[in-house]
Structure 1
Amino acid sequence: MATLDGKPVSTDDLLSLALTNLGHFTTFRVDSDGTVRGLTRHLDRLVRDCSAVFGVALDTELVRDFVRQELAGYELPRVVRVTVHDPGADMGRPADANEPRVMVSTRPASGPPVTPLRTLSVAFERDLPHVKHVGLFGALHARRTAQMAGYGDAVFTDRDGRLAEGVTWNVGFIDRDGAVLWPRTGALPGVTMALLREYAGSVEHRDDDVSLDRAAGMAAAFATNASIGVRPLAGIDGNAFAVEHPVLGRLRERYLSIPGEAL
């Protein structure tokens, strides 16, 4: 089930989202105690992206109310997606789309993935990579390409051959000195990535350019998002990575120890 501004969503409410595809969203996990890691960051993302896409402010207290209402009666933990779109949007006049509404949908939360992820590099750059928007065709086509080739997912390279991000996740690398490197450009500023940097402890984090050739020399690599936390990458293309690197263990422990915020 999904709701729009707290009411059951109708087919008409979804038509513009399906046919015009103008909107943005964020996804987070609500743990069994009703808290969310990085909730403030997710709400800040919605505010920032609503301004970028629709040019208007978003009331985050209403968003929280709608999420709490949608979760009522469900057993936690659960994954929540908040999608902001204007049901009146028209393809011929996107400039008139300035009355966005809040759709909330949920699904059961699974445990962390237990298998490392094998990835295929695919040349692709998202439109407006700093916005978590609903334009997913190119990204999902890249994922399909990777899966048809026998891989679990795709990781994107830009026009200069630099690694940027995964389909629905950030990618990080651990160099031979144990430092964590994050691609410098072309990636969505992920909430899980930001939390790992905020709660870094003794682990060094820095932004850098990572080509495929440079990635091949890394000690380890991993994917991050709010649903999976920290997931090791088994490899990119034909290059394999260590999946039990000690820094990976520290990142996972750090992430799981981050206190959640109450809805």
Structure 2
Amino acid sequence: MATLNGKPVSTDDLLPLALVNVGHFTSMRVDDGAVRGLELHMARLAKDCEVVWGADLDTGRVRAFVREALHGRSQPCVVRVTVYDPAVDMGHLAAPGDPRVLVTVRGAGALRAPAPLRAKSVRYERELPEVKHVGLFGALHTRRGAQLAGFDDALFVGRDGLVSEGGTWNVGFVDADGGVVWPQAPVLPGVTKALLQQRAAHRVAPVTLEEAKGMAAAFATNTSIGVRALAAIDDTALLAEHPVLDRLREAYLSVPGERP
């Protein structure tokens, strides 16, 4: 199902998104009609709309579009809200835009601890990392390369040698003392990460690749998976079962959902 400003979307409406590929989005998992961190998702959309389009976004209207898209649905699902301008002109991107709201819905499985992830380190930095933009080619290309090498996904390392994030997820670590460490680096400010930071003691510090491999445990976070353990970084095995990871999962599951 897909709607644009609350109405069925046409092929012509989608062509600019496919061909010009300028826009931003957020993805929200819906359980029992509610979203963990809904206000954070709306704040992200508003902030990114100002950065990408120089425009204000009526998040109350966005919530209404989401409610319409969810009407009659009872099973867990993921709602993606993409903000783009169907009239965008590749040659005149400084012109005032008229961004619209595309809402798509797909099914989601039960939220449980998925199989641990094996990550391959890759020298890569996302463009405009603070924005959740639709320019996913680079990140997905690194994922493909990692999978061709026998891994599940890519873990990004910047030119400064510091670990930042994964292909479509934030990464966190558990140090030898059981402390939670989030990398200090240019990364997407993930909603799941923010919810965990509100509920679990942590520190933010630069993490080199060598330091990452020496941690007691590592984990990936995003709205679809919650907290997912990393079983390895490159050829270095990590502890996939750790009591801190269990506590982080419990903390995330305890977050009350908000209805759009």
Category of TM-score, reference length = shorter chain: over 0.9
Where does residue 235 of structure 1 map in the other structure?
Answer: 232
Matches within 5 A, 1:209-248: 209-248=206-245
1:189-200 alignment, distance < 5 Å? 189-200=189-200
Q: Which residue matches 1:168?
A: 168
Q: Residues 92-145 of structure 1, C-alpha deviation per residue, up to 9 Å, x if partnerless? A: 011125100000001001123531000101111011000000000000000000
- 1:14 equivalent in structure 2: 14
CA distance in 2, matches of 1:16, 1:28: 24
Show the counterpart of 1:127.
Answer: 127
Query: What TM-score does the superposition give when structure 1 sets the normalisation length?
Result: 0.96
Partner of 2:63: 64
1:169-209 deviation line (CA, Å, top 9, x unaligned) = 00000000111111111210000000001111xxx311111
In 2, Cα distance between equivalents of 1:237 and 1:120: 5
Asked if 1:253 corresponds to 2:255, the answer is no
Give the CA RMSD over aligned residues. Answer: 0.9
Task: Tell me the distance in 1 between the aligned counterparts of 2:155 and 2:186.
Answer: 12
Could you tell me which residue of structure 2 aligns to residue 116 of structure 1?
A: 116
Task: Check conservation: 1:143, 1:167, Cα contact below 8 A.
Answer: yes
The alignment partner of 2:150 has SS state of coil
Contact 2:114 2:225 (C-alpha < 8 Å) held by counterparts? no
Structure 2 equivalent of residue 46 of structure 1: 45
Aligned to 1:95: 94
Task: Give structure 1 regions of 4+ aligned residues with deviation exceeding 3 angstroms.
Answer: none
The one-letter amino acid paired with 1:163 is: V
Aligned residues: 259
Q: Is the 8 A contact 1:90 1:97 kept in 2?
A: no
Offset from partner CA, 1:21-70 (integer Å, 9 cap, x none)? 110000011112x1110000000000000000000100011101101111
Structure 2: 5+ residue runs without aligned partners? none
> How far apart, in 1, do the equivalents of 2:225 and 2:98 lie?
33
**Unaligned segments of structure 1, at least 5 residues:** none
Q: Tell me if structure 2 keeps the 8 A contact 1:50–1:58.
A: yes
1:207-257: CA deviations, max 9, x gaps? 111111111210000000011000000011011111111100000001001
Quote the residue 1:142 is aligned against.
Answer: 142
TM-score by length of 2: 0.98
SS at match of 1:173: strand
> In the alignment, residue 9 of structure 2 is paired with which amino acid?
V
Q: In structure 2, how many angstroms separate the alpha carbons of the residues matched to 1:146 and 1:126?
A: 16
